[in-house]
């Protein structure tokens, strides 16, 4: 079967998704604001974001990684007509955020939980989700709303932070973050594209163990064979945090993924941060 995927946004996660899709047999193209700076996987065609209309009209699968701005979703704003006119488009995957659930006081959140955002950026994500629902409904295309936790992976993890001396072990009892390795995002997105729903589907791209950030830093230090940073109480650490960092610490929820893994028939390559950090360290050593 001819399968043509466009990844709208060949950034950190989008590049991994494109590589995974190529391995699965898709013909893949992806967009970049500056194609000259893109580092696409082998076999992936890079397009300027402003010149992707023909590829989108020809696509069977569309992955959207771009974050919405104050004016809404940039892909819909630029290519709404091309998407509406795409005769073969049968699946759309929209990468959203678990931030749409807001603060739950540490309670569990599953795929059936109703959103309750508190941050402006999360409200924008939820508005973008609703816009994609309307587009998919009008086109009768399958839609997956892929709500993603904190993303880490090679080059963007506690391993690099400990090595550089920038890691901080912030202690806030009872507070946990849900996170996901970049390569497991790719795994889930491509699995979803190959098992499209007959409805709008909410999927959680988070690993199996929500955990305090301090535990992740301590694990990275142990793997590197160095002493972990001193414990820093949150009430002290917050005095030097940016508004963006404070906004993440203002929300506490534990996001589950059981329905997602069951629906897609997958197991994570890196089910917790422990396996993920070991992979990142091993990859960095072999470079």
- 3-state SS track over the chain: CCCEEEEECCCHHHHHHHHHHHHCCCEEEEEECCHHHCCCCCCCEEEEHHHCHHHHHHCCEEEECCCCECCECHHHHHHHHHHHCCCCCCEEEEEEEHHHHCCCCCCEECCCCCCCCCCHHHHHHHHHHHHHHHHHHHHCCEEEEEEECEEEECCECHHHHHHHCCCCEEECCCCCECEEEHHHHHHHHHHHHHCCCCCEEEEEECCCCCECHHHHHHHHHHHHCCCCCCEEEHHHHHHHCCHHHHHHHCCCCEECCHHHHHHHCCCCCCCCHHHHHHHHHHHHHHC
pLDDT of residue 276: 98
pLDDT of residue 71: 87
> What's the pLDDT band for 150 if we cut at 50, 70, 90?
very high
**pLDDT greater than 80 at residue 286:** no
211 strand-pairing partners: 177
Chain centroid, CA 67 distance in Å: 11
pLDDT of residue 198: 87
- The residue with tokens 């082998």 is 42
The 10s digit of each residue's pLDDT in 223-240 is 999 999 999 999 999 999
Q: How far apart are CA 277 and CA 181, in angstroms?
A: 9
Tell me what the mean pLDDT of segment 208-222 comes to. Answer: 98
Tell me what the mean pLDDT of segment 147-163 comes to. Answer: 98
φ/ψ of 123, rounded to 5, equals -60, -40
pLDDT of residue 1: 59
pLDDT of residue 147: 98
**Average pLDDT in the chain:** 96
Q: Does domain 4-152+180-208+254-269 have CATH number 3.40.50.720?
A: yes
Tell me what the mean pLDDT of segment 33-60 comes to. Answer: 94
**pLDDT greater than 70 at residue 287:** no
Tell me what the mean pLDDT of segment 18-32 comes to. Answer: 97
What's the whole-model pTM score? Answer: 0.96
pLDDT of residue 191: 98
Contacts of 196 (CB under 8 A, 6+ apart): 90, 91, 142, 144
Q: How far apart are CA 208 and CA 281, in angstroms?
A: 20
pLDDT of residue 253: 98
pLDDT of residue 100: 98
> What's the pLDDT band for 284 if we cut at 50, 70, 90?
confident
């Amino acid at each position: 079967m001819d399968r043509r995927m466009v990844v709208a946004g060949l950034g950190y996660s989008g590049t991994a998704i494109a590589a995974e899709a190529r391995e699965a047999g898709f013909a893949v193209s992806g967009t970049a604001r500056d194609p000259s700076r893109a580092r696409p996987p082998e076999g992936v065609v890079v397009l300027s974001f402003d010149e992707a209309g023909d590829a989108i009209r020809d696509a069977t699968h569309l992955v959207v990684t771009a974050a919405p701005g104050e004016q809404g979703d940039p892909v819909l704003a630029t290519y709404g007509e091309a998407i509406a006119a795409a005769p073969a488009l049968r699946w759309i995957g929209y990468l959203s955020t678990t931030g749409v659930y807001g603060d739950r006081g540490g309670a569990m959140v599953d795929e059936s939980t109703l959103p309750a955002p508190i941050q402006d950026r999360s409200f924008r994500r939820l508005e973008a989700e609703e816009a994609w629902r309307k587009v998919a409904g009008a086109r009768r295309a399958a839609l997956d709303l892929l709500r993603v936790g904190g993303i880490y992976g090679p080059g963007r993890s506690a391993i690099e932070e400990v090595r550089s001396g920038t890691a901080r072990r912030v202690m806030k009892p009872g507070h946990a973050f849900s996170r996901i390795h970049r390569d497991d995002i790719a795994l889930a997105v491509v699995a979803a594209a190959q098992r499209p729903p007959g409805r709008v589907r909410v999927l959680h791209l988070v690993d199996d163990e929500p955990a305090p950030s301090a535990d992740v830093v301590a694990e990275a230090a142990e793997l590197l064979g160095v002493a972990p940073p001193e414990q820093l109480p949150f009430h002290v650490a917050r005095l030097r945090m940016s508004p963006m960092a404070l906004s993440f610490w203002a929300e506490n929820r534990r996001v589950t993924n059981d329905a997602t893994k069951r629906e897609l028939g997958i197991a994570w390559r890196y089910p917790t941060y422990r396996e993920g950090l070991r992979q990142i360290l091993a990859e960095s050593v072999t470079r």
